Structure 1
């Protein structure tokens, strides 16, 4: 990782980083573990380790990690055609022990409040022993609902969940999946399964975005009526649903079932100009638009804005 002198200098510098990301993936049949510093602008690599059955290189070095943990390793550097250098460390020690020692080692040098976990493989056995995980990303061809439950149970401090995989099966209503405050799910359009209405009907968090969803107008009407009557979605802030190519939303049919107020360009000050959305990324959604209508909750007259097209449904709840 670095020399003893460099480690001491880094610790003395009291370096504060916004977030550390721990990434797990399969590479050429081996498990790969990476640590990155995450900023608003970029992701900066810290270290990359590859677990192998045995060290094939003749140049083996003993590396000390954390509080006295030692591992025999071999270091590799590769220069790509564009001049970019890739480097990684191979190690044959028990992977969970190496991962835990690496985390302790990195945390002893950098100061951060939250960690991000990225799983790019079908994880077998015990999940990584990482603390303070607030953001989880699962990305693979398919993922089992039980695996999602296991991940959420393992990291109870989660605030954000990104699932960029085909979820193979129905998610039970009692699953902690629906308790996550911020969820983004996307399915490849060619896959067998897609996001159905149960995803948002059972949701009790704050922000959800579904890509490649399969829903009907009645599903969306039921959702709107439950919010308007205050029957459900008490904590909801944003709901974004992008339907798959097999679906088309009849926005006029939905509008006929709710009371709403259209945008008046002569009185733009009656509504905010934009609404900040930060899942899966941060952007400002314009509200002063003819396609955006205003609705109110019956119990407290809380305002929300609804955007409808043939391929998109968006609801944002005004905070004031």
Structure 2
């Protein structure tokens, strides 16, 4: 039996709202100004929010939701139509609580039953995408009292303007291919970013001055070359499928040791297409082996967070598999692992743990 929330005492109405799911709360906020005020009064706060652009039935579809085990649980799903909505089920929503700033949109909403028994909705809209995206982001910020940054997942390349999303800190690109100019457009449009995850195949060479190399935290899943880490000036880089030679790695290490480059580097992780000769790399540099009789000479663990979408905090045991190198100009220490298909360099910082591993970090013995 339907319940009229407006006929309930204010406190009871708030209690009802707090029992709803995020998606239901959002839909409730579209019903009227009174339900919007009721939702805001409930004081419900959403965790880290993600904005996703994807293609569906030939149209752009936008979602705002919460990441859970690498799956986006949508709070809102919006599909842009290129033509006017003709359905009799369309309705008009006036957004904004200040009368002079109100925006009215004609929408249509459909509900879908999922296999797990839950439901999802899709809102159809034919208005200008730039306006609509900003309006819905403002609505979610308001009803969930959200002041944090957004994550942005782009599952399709935009043929027109990029999504109108503000305060983006983490970006993930998932389309089949991507070109250097598109990467530049994305990184300059969302200038507040600090991490980039590229799952797409990058077609074409990245210019040495590309903003790609200035991103603080980078993950590239597809094939790339040594220029990716040779030109990197950020903090953390993880290349999953890199074509590299021992000399490429030795050149990188010499520049770090001499303080010629990579001044801001914290971690570099490479997974190579062919196995490397770790002995050849180690013989080309000055290093210090792990001394089991003097374990106190180095930290027991190295803990870090790479910061890109989907990454998890990790801890590595700095045992005999790692050798220590030092920067000649200031004595800065780093720990090096080079064996088979894997290369790792961890620069000494204040995230070491002599004995205890911090909560939430995954330990990786080498």
TM-score, normalised relative to structure 1: 0.91
Distance 1:283 1:104 in 2: 31
CA distance in 2, matches of 1:134, 1:48: 21
How big is each residue's C-alpha offset from its partner over 1:175-196, in whole Å with a ceiling of 9 and x where there is no partner? 1111111111111xxxxxx211
Query: Within the alignment, does 1:132 sit opposite 2:163 as a pair?
Result: no
The answer to which structure has the higher helix fraction is 2
What SS class does the counterpart of residue 226 from structure 1 fall into? helix
The answer as to whether partners of 1:15 and 1:111 remain within 8 angstroms in 2 is: no
Tell me, yes or no, if structure 1 residue 207 matches structure 2 residue 236. yes
1:105 aligns with 2:139: yes
3-state secondary structure, aligned to 1:310: strand
- Aligned to 2:253, which of 190, 215, 224? 224
Offset of residue 33 of structure 1: 0.6
The CA distance in 2 between the partners of 1:169 and 1:83, in whole Å, is 45
**Separation in 1 of the partners of 2:110 and 2:293?**
65
Judge which range, 35-44 or 79-88, deviates more.
35-44
Does 1:157 pair with 2:192? yes
Quote the residue 1:293 is aligned against. Answer: 323
Give the structure 1 partner of residue 333 of structure 2.
303
Question: What is the Cα deviation at residue 90 of structure 1?
Answer: 1.3
What is the Cα deviation at residue 254 of structure 1?
0.4
Instruction: Report the number of matched residues.
Output: 312
Structure 1 residues 13, 60: CA separation in 2 closer, same or farther (over 3 Å shift)?
Answer: same
Gap regions ≥5 residues in structure 1: 188-193
Residue number in structure 2 paired with 1:92? 126
Residues in 1 aligned to 2:129 and 2:314: alpha-carbon distance in whole angstroms:
42
Superposed CA offset, 1:127-150 (max 9, x none): 122221111111110001000001
Equivalent residue in structure 2 for 1:235, among 253, 261, 264: 264
8 Å CA contact 1:212–1:242 kept in 2: the answer is: yes
Which range moves more in the overlay, 197-206 or 285-294? 285-294
State how far apart, in whole Å, the 2-side matches of 1:258 and 1:79 are.
Answer: 61
What is the distance in 1 between the residues matched to 2:175 and 2:69? 25
Task: Tell me: CA distance 1:112–1:16, structure 2 relative to 1, closer, same or farther (3 Å).
Answer: farther
Matched, 1:81 2:115: yes
User: What is the RMSD of the two structures over their aligned residues, measured on CA atoms?
Assistant: 2.0
